[in-house]
Structure 1
Amino acid sequence: MTTHAHRLGTVLALTAAGTLLASTVSAAPSGPEGAIPVPVPEVQGPLPGGLPGDPMADDIEDTYPFFATTEDLDSHGYVEEEFLVSGTANRYSEGEVLSSHPYRTRLLVRRPAEQRDSNGTVLAEWQNVTAGNDLDALWGPSAEHIMRSGYTWVGVSAQHVGVSQLTGWSPARYGDLDVTDGGAVGDDQLSYDVFSQAAQAVRAGELTGGLEHDRILAIGASQSAQRMTVYYERVLPLIEPVFDGYAFMVGNAPSSPDRPEPVFQVLSETDVARIPVAEDTATFRRWEVAGTSHSAWAGRMARVDQEERDLGGQAEYDCAEPPFSRVPLHHVFNASYDHLDAWARGRGRPPGADPIERTALGRIARDDDGFALGGIRLSQVEVPRALNTGSNAPLDAESYFCVLFGSHRPFDEAELAERYPSHGRYASAVNRVESENLRRGHITREDSRENRREAARP
């Protein structure tokens, strides 16, 4: 993931007029009078083929979905299915339709196999494409929580970079995908329609095997959060809303969210220095997490097998500090999803959180050990066994992404002994922090239990 979004054109993609179909989802939030309807796209699938397979096979039945999950879906009662969706998207400028364009892309769905295991909420993730391919950035580290909670996850391939990579990776499976109308539309101007219409496909019951859902939440990380911000600020005022809430992770969020649907923003320590401070409102909540990085260890580990299988391995980087903070930012993501879900259902606002402290010059304030001050403080920061930060730097041009990885420098045995005279004292201190974060609502009970078990191990 990265903070540098692809250049956004001044011409935005909006939706073509259409007629809503009968839905297995509750009605979408009501929009402004005269809002442009969002049509339901044509849906094909689920596509045949699955693991094991060959991306370059000539027959689609012998292929498999790009970045098919390596999680044990069966043990959670989940299934993975892939669909192709097609429709017509408009380009708008200053409220006027400039032109209409066909598109065709893919949606990847991971859902409970049975209604009894569903919590009734869809997490629609705008796939991140900064690395040059679709990346299910938010599924990866949070897969366990998503499945144990019963969410349906839908990955939306909305942008040209990702779609273009798919067509080359498996021509038999993806060769006819296109979100540029043959190159006539640049700057991902159709991506906003693609995202909206994906939600409408869910509402029409086209993607979820007959499961009933009450809410659809839009989620996106980094560059995807940037695009969702444009969607929220410049597209939503003109179209009917199709999402019940929005989660902007490790990236930009609307500067003045004034819509009725709730908005959640979670920032790592890496992001805090570049994104202006924002105050909580009746429909906006922001959390900042000390010691965490924009691209973290948990996400990298979650993608090891997928990247080895589909891309030939993971890239290595030469960073100034040992890369990838080990503080589990995804634990805070997990709590925020649950709070946003409840908020969208009218069950009360989520708790607030102290921001990470800044100096007079706007830099992150740190203690003598180098830890950021303020913010949500997970037990890995409050009772540390290593110095984790959101800062790092590349040592060569090829390692640019080091700026996103943060750092992790384990304490040696002498420092650990000085901090924690016994293992019991260390575990007790972790338990106290976990209890407090659980009380504040900044972590889920299951993730807190995992941290306690880890601390109890000798």
Structure 2
Amino acid sequence: MGKNSATFLFLSVLGIWATLTSCGSNSNTGEAAESVTVGESRQETPTAVAEPTTVQETQESETPEIVEEKSQEEEKPEEEYVATFRFPNKWVNADGLGEGILQPLGDAALPTGFIEEEYLVTGEAISYVSADPVTSDGFWTVTEDSEAGYKTRMILRYPPADQFSGVVIVEWFNVTAGVDNSIDWSYLSEEIGRSGHAYVGVSAQYVGVMGRDTGRIPQGLIDTRGLPVRDPTRYGDLIHPGDSYSFDIFSQATVASLAILASPEYGLSATNVVAAGQSQSAGFLTTYANAVHPLVNIFNGFLIHGRGDGAPNPSVDESLENVLIRTDINVPVMIYETETDLTVLQYANARQEDTGNIRTWEVAGAAHADTYSITYPRGFPRQASIGAALGCDGLINDGPQHETLQAALHHFIAWVKEGIVPPAAPRIEVSMHDGLEIIRDEMGIAIGGVRTPPVDVPLRILIGDPGSSEGFCFLFGQTFDIDLESLQSMYPSLGSYVEVLEAAANESVTNGWLLPEDAEIMIEEETQRAEKAGLE
């Protein structure tokens, strides 16, 4: 399916508003309306809010009256949602303040030609409360509760205007480590760059702004003191009222980022905007999709990456188990799960069938976290021994999450833009009789799921089961080397290995589980690995 009508109208209105408000003003700063309601032929005219306080001179411009629009798609009978979105009070480009951007974890290098900027966003956020008891089916109804002030940050990474795809990917920063972590950027920056998407990372949660010592990270490895403490000149007045307000903060930051990008200075008017989040963030996005999305309709789709079975309730005062994505959701939802997610994080208890708007991939040989997530953002090659830096025993997982997640994103965006549903994938076989356990073949390789050459033509065994429980090591899976004698019995020569490797890669590409460019890189890397292992 294409974009839903409420979101289409939202982007149209936002584009008009951004163009008009930026005329005669510095688009590095902005002020906005309190709220706009679209859908069902109903729309409020926004009103100006308090005068912004900025770090640089700017001319003020009145918030214009927005002319009501109605798209033909809005006539579709299945579209029942009304979109009500709130703008932040103001935003300011943080360029020149303090020591520069305090990068989140996972800050992979910018793709060629991309520009990175950070904005500080201020507003009044609302919290939500459940109108009815929340149930595991995800059919949640919420009402607005209290309101509180906030000031947070968002990071924009975007291509030249002539290369822009029209897609903006907004990541909800993960905060499990006690600081912001841009996990999806670290895994997906290559595909984002070559496709020309724009990216926005949002510090939506309290810990992302104020920090927290989790006790799980080796001392001295990460500074968890919080943004205001680490750079008071740049971030000293940031404030966060708590995670119950994080859903609206995420919405408002998204709206601000789209207005910034759509301004004449940037020239990047979005045609589609999607939300992404991994692990803990994926849990919050599950709640957002079930409870908040039906109210605001800002996003054209959700990439739910590596979630467990649980999700916080809308008030974020407790977590519910076995939560599904509501099956009446009106935009595409791509769910991506690893072996670890199924068992350790118990997502197998929250599995649901694919529907017209929900697609799930479960990836064999992949772990919740792996070598790529540690090494690539730092410019290092993948090495399974890198887990020692985190205090992990043995070799951590060196599996194909990066490559398959890039394929998932590629298909997900085609789904959102053109209605081309991603390829279906078999589920990984899981025993649920005595706890949750991946069913494996005689070599220890998972049966079922998304298949790739490192799994089907193995040089080592890749699993998502934890090797140790130290810190976050239980999330990093394991890698087991195969000795040379066994490899030689499987592949009599290097040439015979390369032959089956290329066949497996071609099959994965045909199935849609690898992109051709990533398959080529994988063939090269696995061939080098075979040579290093001693195959001749």
In 2, the alpha carbon distance for the partners of 1:102 and 1:70 equals 28
Q: 1:435 to 1:394 in 2, by over 3 A?
A: same
1:285 to 359, 372, 378: 359
- Runs of 4+ aligned residues of structure 1 deviating over 4 Å after TM superposition are 18-23, 26-36, 68-72
Q: Does 1:138 pair with 2:184? A: yes
Q: 1:345 to 1:70 in 2, by over 3 A?
A: closer
* Structure 1 unaligned blocks of 5 or more: 1-14, 50-59, 181-185, 307-312
- 2:291 aligned partner: 234
- 2:251 aligned partner: 196
- 2:502 aligned partner: 431
Q: Secondary structure at the match of 2:389?
A: coil
* Alpha-carbon shift at residue 282 of structure 1 (Å): 0.6
Q: Which amino acid aligns with 2:103?
A: F
TM-score, normalization by structure 2? 0.71
* Structure 2 unaligned blocks of 5 or more: 1-32, 37-44, 47-62, 132-141, 211-225, 309-322, 381-385, 532-536
Q: Which amino acid aligns with 1:247?
A: L
Q: Does 1:302 pair with 2:376? A: yes
Q: 1:305 to 1:339 in 2, by over 3 A?
A: closer
In 2, the alpha carbon distance for the partners of 1:315 and 1:131 equals 17
- 2:303 aligned partner: 247
**8 Å Cα contact 2:105-2:182 kept in structure 1:** no
2:233 to 144, 169, 172: 172
In 2, the alpha carbon distance for the partners of 1:286 and 1:368 equals 26
Cα offsets for 1:79-121 (capped at 9, x unmatched):
1110011111122322444321111100001110x22211111
In 1, the alpha carbon distance for the partners of 2:148 and 2:461 equals 51
- 2:175 aligned partner: 129
Q: Does 1:403 pair with 2:474? A: yes
After superposition, where does 1:52-451 map in structure 2 within 5 Å? 60-67=97-104, 71-73=108-110, 76-93=112-129, 94=131, 95-112=142-159, 114-164=160-210, 165-180=226-241, 186=242, 188-206=243-261, 209-237=266-294, 239-252=295-308, 254-273=324-343, 274-275=346-347, 276=349, 277-304=351-378, 316-323=389-396, 325-359=397-431, 361=433, 362-394=436-468, 399-451=470-522
Q: Secondary structure at the match of 2:331?
A: coil
* Alpha-carbon shift at residue 298 of structure 1 (Å): 0.5
In 2, the alpha carbon distance for the partners of 1:48 and 1:194 equals 22
Q: 1:430 to 1:100 in 2, by over 3 A?
A: same
How well do the aligned residues superpose, as a CA RMSD in angstroms?
2.9
Q: Which amino acid aligns with 2:122?
A: S
**Larger deviation: 150-159 or 246-255?**
246-255
Q: Secondary structure at the match of 1:204?
A: helix
Q: Secondary structure at the match of 1:372?
A: coil
In 2, the alpha carbon distance for the partners of 1:27 and 1:205 equals 24
**8 Å Cα contact 2:127-2:247 kept in structure 1:** no
Q: Which amino acid aligns with 2:328?
A: D
Q: Which amino acid aligns with 1:378?
A: T
Q: Which amino acid aligns with 2:508?
A: N
Cα offsets for 1:371-423 (capped at 9, x unmatched):
1111011111111111110011436xxx1312100001222222222221111
**8 Å Cα contact 2:464-2:477 kept in structure 1:** yes
Among all aligned residue pairs of Structure 1 and Structure 2, give the percentage whose two residues are the same amino acid. Answer: 32
Cα offsets for 1:52-84 (capped at 9, x unmatched):
xxxxxxxx25433334986553x6111111001
Cα offsets for 1:214-270 (capped at 9, x unmatched):
111100000000001111112223x22100000100114743331110000000011
- 1:37 aligned partner: 84
In 2, the alpha carbon distance for the partners of 1:68 and 1:110 equals 15
Q: Secondary structure at the match of 1:409?
A: strand
In 2, the alpha carbon distance for the partners of 1:34 and 1:366 equals 44
- Structure number, greater radius of gyration: 2
The count of residues paired between Structure 1 and Structure 2 equals: 413
In 1, the alpha carbon distance for the partners of 2:227 and 2:432 equals 47
* Alpha-carbon shift at residue 36 of structure 1 (Å): 6.2
In 2, the alpha carbon distance for the partners of 1:84 and 1:432 equals 49
Q: 1:88 to 1:435 in 2, by over 3 A?
A: same
Q: Secondary structure at the match of 1:138?
A: helix
**8 Å Cα contact 2:445-2:463 kept in structure 1:** yes
